[in-house]
Every structure is written in structure tokens, then in C-alpha cells.
Structure 1
């Protein structure tokens, strides 16, 4: 199986850099794991504003991403605390 390439929307890259250090490493690790499996156990398809995207949970934080199958890549759209992520 081919490894997916991960790209970040500039705003998602900024959100990642502003996270507390312990959360940063946990979320970065979860994102890197998407390279091998873009649909890990616990991921869910999102609705509404982020239609056709997926989300993974890491503690109280969420990562919303879009899988581009024909390019074999994953685009990280948004990273944030669960209380703010869907607003």
C-alpha cells in the first residue's frame, strides 16, 4: 500500500503550532499515522460545514482532514479544541 502525502492548509499549520507542547506531539503523531491509514479506527465522516471531510480525536482536540484519493494525499483542514472546532 502506498503512503499518503500530508499537506496542511496554512491556517491549520498555525493552529498546530499554537497548541500546548504535550498536545502538539500527540496530535502530530496522530496526523503522521494517517500516512499509512487515512481511515483509522475512530475516525468519522463530518457533516455540515466540513461536508465530505473526516475527523480524528486526540484527547480534547480534533483534526479535520480531507482525503484526495487520486493524488494519494491528505489535506489537514483544521485543528482545534472540541468546543471550538465546529464553529
Structure 2
């Protein structure tokens, strides 16, 4: 497998402006790994979609892969609490964007979060 080119949606620049320099430098290392192997260690397929996510501490990188042209398109970078919702809006699909998991847990009750 060859090295993939990374393509960033224009909105990703805005995402990065809201993240500390320390965290951005960590994310840059993730981009290098992503270009080498977009399905490598730590990458997870999002359920029901051809999208993936890569974790870096509290941040998530949501991206798509185009194998035929060796391109990974970074759609959204954000905090884990809202990155999937925003990525779904940017991609314009009606389907929710969530990490794929065989061990599905029910969502927690809203009052349990504030405790």
C-alpha cells in the first residue's frame, strides 16, 4: 500500500483554531500516521458508513478514505462530545455518525451526566 494524500475540508482550519497549540501538535503526529495507513492502529470504522475516526486524547479526527486514488479526506476535528454530530452535519447525510462497535451501550440518561 502506498502513502495516502491527506485532503482537509476548509472547515477543518476553523476546527484547529479552537484547539490549543499543544493539542494541535499532537494532532499533527496523527496526520502523519493517517497518511501512512488510514486503517492503522487506533482507527475505527464508523457504523453504517464509509467514514473512520482516529482518537487523540479527547479529540477525534473524522475522515473518509478513497482507496482508488489513495486519498484520506479529513472532515472534522473536534472534542469527543460533539465531533460526530458536527461531522454528520458537514457530510450532509441523514444518518448519524458514530463509532462502530459490536458492544453497543444504551445512551446515558441526561441527569446522570450532571452528577
Q: Residue 2 of structure 1: CA displacement?
A: 1.5
1:61 aligned residue (59, 62, 76): 59
Q: Which protein, 1 or 2, shows the higher relative CO under an 8 Å CA cutoff with sep ≥ 6? A: 1
Name 2:46's counterpart in structure 1: 46
Q: Residue 64 of structure 1: CA displacement?
A: 0.3
1:75 aligned residue (68, 73, 76): 73
Query: What is the aligned-residue RMSD (CA, Å)?
Result: 1.3
Structure with the higher fraction of residues in strand conformation: 1
User: Is 1:31 the equivalent of 2:64?
Assistant: no
Q: Mind listing any 5+ residue stretches in structure 1 that lack a counterpart? A: none
Which segment is superposed worse, 31-40 or 53-62?
Answer: 31-40
Q: 2: distance between equivalents of 1:9 and 1:32?
A: 17
Q: 1: distance between equivalents of 2:47 and 2:11?
A: 20
What whole-Å deviation, never above 9, does each CA across 1:52-83 have from its counterpart, x for those lacking one?
A: 10001000000001010011111001100001
Q: 1: distance between equivalents of 2:28 and 2:80?
A: 17
Q: Which has the larger radius of gyration?
A: 2
SS at match of 1:86: helix
SS at match of 1:29: helix
**TM-score of the pair, normalised by structure 2:** 0.69
